[in-house]
Every structure is written in C-alpha cells, then in structure tokens.
Amino acid sequence: MLSDVEAAWLAAYGHQSKGQGVLLISGTGSIAYGRDAQGHVARAGGLGPEKGDEGSAYWIGTQWEALSHSISRKKQLSVRDVAAKASGVARLAQRKNKKAIQVIQEAQQHLVALAEELTGALKWKAAIPVAFSGSVATHPYFQRGLVKKLQASRRKFQIVPLHTDPATAAIQSALRLRSGFVSKLKHD
C-alpha cells in the first residue's frame, strides 16, 4: 500500500534509479518526507492539525484567525474551512498586508525547519534535492519566499520540480509492482 506522501515523493524522485531527496508538502497539513541514496527514509512533521502541521494551510488559517480576531465563538469551523483561508492570506501578503506577511513568512520558516530536521536525520552532506507539493507549497508567491528561505538555510538545498503528479506516480508504482509480480509467477 502506497501512502499519499510516498506517492507525492515518487512524483518528484521516482523516475531516478537511485531516487533521493526531500519532499516538502504543505496543503491542508504539512510534512517533510525524504529518502537518501541508500534507501533510508525519514519524515518530519505530519502530526495532524491538533498536534502541529506548522506551515500548513490549516496552520496559516488558525494564525490568521488569531491575529485578526475573527474567530466566531459561536461557530466552530472545520479543518477544511480554516485551511481554505490560506490562499486569501497569501493574496493579502502579496498586497503587502503586514499581518499576512508575518503569517506567511513564519509558515515558510516552519517548512524550512522540517526540511532541516529531515536532512539531519538522513545525515546528508552534499546538496539536498528538495521538491514541493500541496496547495500552499506550490502557490507561486508562497513558493518564491520558501525557496529564498531554503537558500539562506545552513543546509545546501537544490530545488527540483515534480516530474509527474502524485496520482500518476502511484499508478506507475502499482503497475511496476504488478509487472514484477506477474513476471515472478511466470518464472516460478
């Protein structure tokens, strides 16, 4: 069984015979997932909205709600409703809203921290390939700032594009597994 995180990672690195690199995902939630050339896997974040997910759309939405004091005490918003506010916060940041810029920059820094934590766990010494997935991490304004923060990091990150979408990567992986299984059956 292939998780959504693994499928997204395959979308970035699965085309390589010795796929290695970090994938920063920031959509409703956030997680960093990586694999080194030896096949060691590590992850950071991905704890869910109640335990973290710093840098995610949900986190951005909750920070914005807190800063703008717009939480309705009578109506509890769903995770999805709160996360939906992230694109509006990014638009406000583009328009130079100081509170929005503060929230977006803090979210970007949280994602950099996840990438740094992951690369420490995998003990990378060379340039570290990093790809992005998720509605927040791939938002053009957000991504430009995230790239700048990664480049200013104490680690050396190399930004790489996704080569396919996560759903296609999962299907391709399943077909390779099926093909290998069928081939093994023929030889047994």
Instruction: Write out pLDDT tens, residues 4-42.
Output: 888 788 878 876 646 789 999 999 999 999 998 888 999
In DSSP terms, 25 is beta-bridged to: 31, 133
CA distance 92 to 96: 6
Where residue 76 sits, what CATH number does that domain have? 3.30.420.40
Query: Interior CA angle at 186 toward 184 and 188, to 5°?
Result: 70
H-run or E-run covering 168: helix 166-187
Dihedral of CA 74/55/138/28: which sign?
negative
19 sits in the region (left: phi over 0; alpha: psi -120 to 50; else beta) called beta
| Domain containing residue 27 | 4-187
Q: How many domains does the chain have?
A: 1
Q: Report the percentage of the chain scoring pLDDT > 90.
A: 49
pLDDT the model gives residue 119: 87
Instruction: Write out pLDDT tens, residues 101-141.
Output: 999 999 999 999 999 999 888 888 788 899 999 899 999 99
Q: What proportions of the chain, in percent to the nearest 5, are helix, strand and coil?
A: 50, 15, 35
Whether the CB-CB separation of 85 and 65 falls below 8 Å is answered with yes
Instruction: Write out pLDDT tens, residues 89-99.
Output: 999 999 999 99
Tell me the CA distances in angstroms from 185 to 59, 62, 114, 172, one per residue in order. Answer: 48, 52, 42, 20
CA distance 34 to 119: 8
